[in-house]
Amino acid sequence: MAVELLRNAFSLGGSVPAIYYVSYLIVSVLVAYFVYRAYVCMVERRPITELSGPGAFRELGIGVLIGAALVAATVGIMWLLGYYRVTQANAWTVAFVLLANDGPGLW
């Protein structure tokens, strides 16, 4: 519902503006946070300690590094076996769109 409101607000026709992806990322993270918070408070009836501030950035950094290493290892193995080949590169905006679409999974 929130994504449809954003889509209508920016009247997306052909080319999608970057502000849509930034808004999509922010709204998605906020919705995921508040849904998780409501679930923990109403169903589990306990305080949310796993999203506390101390050590959060360190743990996020370690998780991102481990994830990047796993992806690099997978692509490297496929490249060594001859199943992976880069034929062209897209603009940097493609990576931005992927981050906006997959970014909520970080939280």
- DSSP assignment of 10-70 equals TT--SSPPHHHHHHHHHHHHHHHHHHHHHHIIIII-S---TT-STTHHHHHHHHHHHHHHH
Contact predicate 67/78, CB 8 Å? no
Q: Please tell me the distance from the alpha carbon of residue 91 to that of residue 78, in angstroms, as a whole number.
A: 24
pLDDT at 83: 93
Q: Please tell me the distance from the alpha carbon of residue 96 to that of residue 52, in angstroms, as a whole number.
A: 27
Per-residue pLDDT of the chain (107 residues; tens, 9 = 90+): 655 665 555 555 555 666 777 787 788 888 888 999 999 999 999 988 887 778 778 888 898 899 999 999 999 999 999 998 888 777 766 666 666 666 656 55
pTM exceeds cut of 0.75? no
Radius of gyration (C-alpha) of the chain in whole angstroms:
18
pLDDT at 27: 85
- Single out the residue of 95, 97, 102 nearest to residue 28, CA to CA: 102
